[in-house]
A = this chain, B = another copy of it.
Amino acid sequence: MAVLKYSRQREAIYNNLRQRKDHPTADMIFADIRKEFPNISLGTVYRNLSLLSDLGKIQKLAADGIADRFDGNVLPHDHFICRRCGAMTDMDFVDTERFKEEAASRFDGEIESCSIVFYGICADCKKKEAMNLAGEEYSSEARKTVEAQPTA
């Protein structure tokens, strides 16, 4: 993969991601792009997302249990993931750089980046929960009740 060539599909994928404020999975982008390119392949979406991510034009985000998310905002910022509805939102008000420096100053290796992900219940889900609206309507399998003694 020496010289990069232009492709309309890549441009569309990049533009789509930049315009969105959510943090879509490859599949969500695929579904959206399909409207413009009805026979684009999922592989093309993955290939270009990973390429764009390598180029530093977008960010790839890994999180607990869910599929990788992509973010058109490459500036360092943190994220929140709702355990109830799975929504991922920005948390750009914490000074990550300060953390990174604090950690780097006491670490032997070389710190390049830092991913901070908060988990909890988003404002929307909290509100819905308070109203006691049809609990199962928006809940996932996230809550598991285990009422027993641990081993050992």
Contact = CB atoms under 8 A, between A and B. Distances in A.
Contacts of A146: 1, 4, 51, 54-55
A121 B109 contact: yes
A116 B115 contact: yes
Given A4-B146, A62-B64, A63-B62, A99 B116 contact: yes
Interface string A61-97: 1111100000000000010101100000001011000
Number of copies: 2
A94 B91 CA distance: 19
Contacts of A151: 4, 6-7, 10-11, 14, 52, 57
A136 interface: no
Given A117-B114, A150-B52, A123 B103 contact: no
Nearest to A98: B99
B115 A64 contact: yes
Interface in A5-36: 6-7, 10-11, 14-15
A136 to B, nearest CB: 19
